[in-house]
Structure formats: C-alpha cells, structure tokens
Amino acid sequence: MTVALDLAPATEAEVADILADCHARRTPLRILGGGTRVENRVPGETLTLSRLSGVVTYSPGEMTLIARPGTPLPEIEQMLEAEGQALAFEPPDMRGILGRNGTPTLGGTVAANASGPRRLLAGACRDHLLGVRFVDGRGRVLKNGGRVMKNVTGLDLSKLLAGSHGTLAVLTEVVLKTLPLLPARTTLAFPDVTEATALRIFTTALSTPYEVSGAAHVGGAAYLRIEGLDSQLAYRRDRLLALLAEHRPEVMDDAPWQAIRDAAHFAGTDPLWRILCKPTEAPGLCDGLRAMGGDCSLDWGGGLIWYRGPGNPRDLAAHATLVRRGGVSGPAFPPLAPAVARLQDGLRRSFDPAGILNPGLMDG
C-alpha cells in the first residue's frame, strides 16, 4: 500500500521521503519555489518548497549566509541590508515580465543561477555559492562544499546545481558568500546611441581599472554604472568622463538599474527571449533580430540580449532561451551540442536515474 505524501514538505527528511517514493513509483515531479523564474509546464505532481524556509545561520563578520530554499528573497535582502551587506550578484525579479504574483525564493534564485547587471564585476550567483545540501532523485540526502571558502575542496557540485533548474536535485540548504553593500553609485548615460556605439563605449570602459558594475543599452541609450566609496567614485567618474568625452556622457544619480535588472521595459505578453552571446556579436545579432520585427536591449556589456517579438532567435543565435512564451510552442531551452547533450544525460542518470525531477524542462 502506498502512503500519500504531503508535497509541501517542511523538512529535509520529508523531501527525501517524497523523492524516494516518487523514484520507486517513477512518478514525475514539478519542482516549485516561488514560481517566479520560469514557465514550468512539465508534467507531474507539484513539489513546492515554500514551507522549507528560514535562515539557518547568518554571520555578518564572516560574510556567510546559510538558508533554506523556500526563504523569500526579499527577506534575505532586507536582512543583509540591515547589516550593510548584499548579495553581490544582484538577482533579478522576473515577476513583471512573467506576470506572476508569487514571491521569489533563495532556492529558485540559486537553481536558476539568476544574476543581474553586476555580474560584470562580481560574477554570477554560482560564483558566490560556497556549499549546498540537497536530495537527489533517489531520495538520498547529500551535501557538498563548506561554510567558508577555504573549506570548499574537491568536486564542487554546488556550481553544477546552480543553473540546473531543479533537474538534478532538490536543494534543501544553500551557503552563500555575502559582500559589503556599496554605499554610493552613479551612472554615465549616453543618449541616442546604436548598439555598435554602445559596444565601443562598453569595451573602452570595461578595459579600464575603474570597476564598472553595469553596462547596458536600453531604449536607444547606453548606461555605465560605477559603485563604491564617495572618494573613489568621484575619481573613477571623472576619469571615465574624460576617456569617453567624444560620446557626450551625462551623469545620472538615479538611473533605471532596477528596471534594467528586471527587464521591466519588456513587460507584457509578447514572446520574450534571453540570448547569451559574445559581446562583439551583439550589434549584428540585434540588427538581425530587429529585422524579424521585434525590439532588443543589451546587458552585461553586450553579453546578454533581451529580445521581444516574433520569429525564432535560434535561427541567429545558439543560446536563446524562451523566457515568456506568448503563444510560442516548442522547448524553452536551446538545443545542446551533441557532446554537451551526452554529458548532460550522463549527469541526469547519475543524479536522477528515474527521470522524475522536472522532466523535459531543460531539453532543447
């Protein structure tokens, strides 16, 4: 006789029981945090992690945070801000572009490797992940990494799970490195420039030692952000103004970085794509995408393109992910090269041999 299990577990042990039972019955599961990161339409019962919540340990002096995956991200950010710290990778809030009203969670942020404009300077979410506890597809409780950087040795599975979107394991605890909250910021704006000109601006600025923490092109304007102490900020701002004087920069103290982070300019219901590319390829790709009839914006110094509109960007770019379907059918994630697909299949067989965790979500 099969015992009915609560699919809203409040403990790691309950997660393990659920996964062991579903593994035995070959029952697929849709893994859900706050439901604010991707349009998860995989078949199966929904395993929600919202009750597996709370901060385990926060040590401001060691700049280390340990929390459960269902912990609301806004609570984490408020707690860190009260101590003058932050998540350096600036996780975006996708609710506006997906039309969701849930609450982003820490686990969903890690599972999606969600990273905002500061990725240029500080790296992605996975770069700040020190360790994890998780339950694999067999129901085994495992841990990897440590609570401080010097204790992170061996094969770093935490980096593998970040960005796997719950297809390899269910996170039950994450250990993140925090960083001081930068006290001051300013932005250089360059109105009425093309993507090609924006790329030249980005290339020049990012090749300097002035620690640019944001480089985006939205609505025909390019933006460069610098952050730090007041004395440092003034020096770096003035040096960049002189270096880029030919592009007539304007100084802004209240630039739209939250909107850029969240791609708020592309809110709506039309298909929305997220495209990763070499920055040098971005202007040409944007020309091709606009020829399809849509609009583009750039982030990460040109390494990230947001495209809203008709057509299939995969005809132009290999790494195009369909973030908001808007009536478009087919796989959300791009197809993988054969060698990468074989590696991915091998990892899934190792972590989840019955294929019960978000089956098909990341299949191209």
- Give the pLDDT confidence of 33-58 residue by residue, as tens digits: 988 888 777 888 899 999 999 999 99
Residues with Cβ within 8 Å of 249's Cβ and at least 6 positions away in sequence, in order, are 188, 189, 190, 224, 240, 241
Residues 325-351: tens digit of each pLDDT = 999 998 999 999 999 999 999 999 999
Count CB neighbours of 116 within 10 A. Answer: 25
* Tokens describing residue 100: 């969701």
Closest CA to 52 of 20, 7, 102, 93: 7
Residues with Cβ within 8 Å of 45's Cβ and at least 6 positions away in sequence, in order, are 7, 22, 27, 28, 29, 30
Indicate if the pLDDT at residue 188 is higher than 50: yes
Q: What is the predicted pLDDT for the residue at 304?
A: 98
Indicate if the pLDDT at residue 236 is higher than 60: yes
Looking up tokens 């029952």 gives 27
CB 145 within 8 A of CB 177: no
CA–CA separation, 64 and 77 (whole Å): 13
Q: How confident is the model at residue 238 (pLDDT cuts 50, 70, 90)?
A: very high
CA–CA separation, 326 and 34 (whole Å): 21
Q: How confident is the model at residue 2 (pLDDT cuts 50, 70, 90)?
A: very low
CB 43 within 8 A of CB 152: no
Q: How confident is the model at residue 279 (pLDDT cuts 50, 70, 90)?
A: very high
Indicate if the pLDDT at residue 152 is higher than 70: no
Fold of 1-181+334-364: 3.30.465
* Tokens describing residue 24: 């035995």
% residues pLDDT > 90 (the chain) = 84
Q: Averaged over 111-136, what is the pLDDT?
A: 96
Could you state, in order of their start, the residue ranges of all structural domains in the chain? 1-181+334-364, 184-261, 264-324
Of the listed ranges 69-73, 144-148, 306-310, 314-318, the least confidently predicted one is 144-148
Indicate if the pLDDT at residue 150 is higher than 80: no
Packing angle of the helix pair 195-206, 230-243 (nearest 10 deg):
130
Q: How confident is the model at residue 3 (pLDDT cuts 50, 70, 90)?
A: very low
Fold of 184-261: Alpha-Beta Plaits (3.30.70)
Q: How confident is the model at residue 146 (pLDDT cuts 50, 70, 90)?
A: low
Fold of 264-324: Alpha-Beta Plaits (3.30.70)
Indicate if the pLDDT at residue 31 is higher than 50: yes
Q: What is the pTM of this model?
A: 0.93
- DSSP 8-state secondary structure symbol assigned to residue 241: H
Asked if the domains 1-181+334-364 and 184-261 are classified in one and the same CATH topology, the answer is no
Indicate if the pLDDT at residue 153 is higher than 70: no
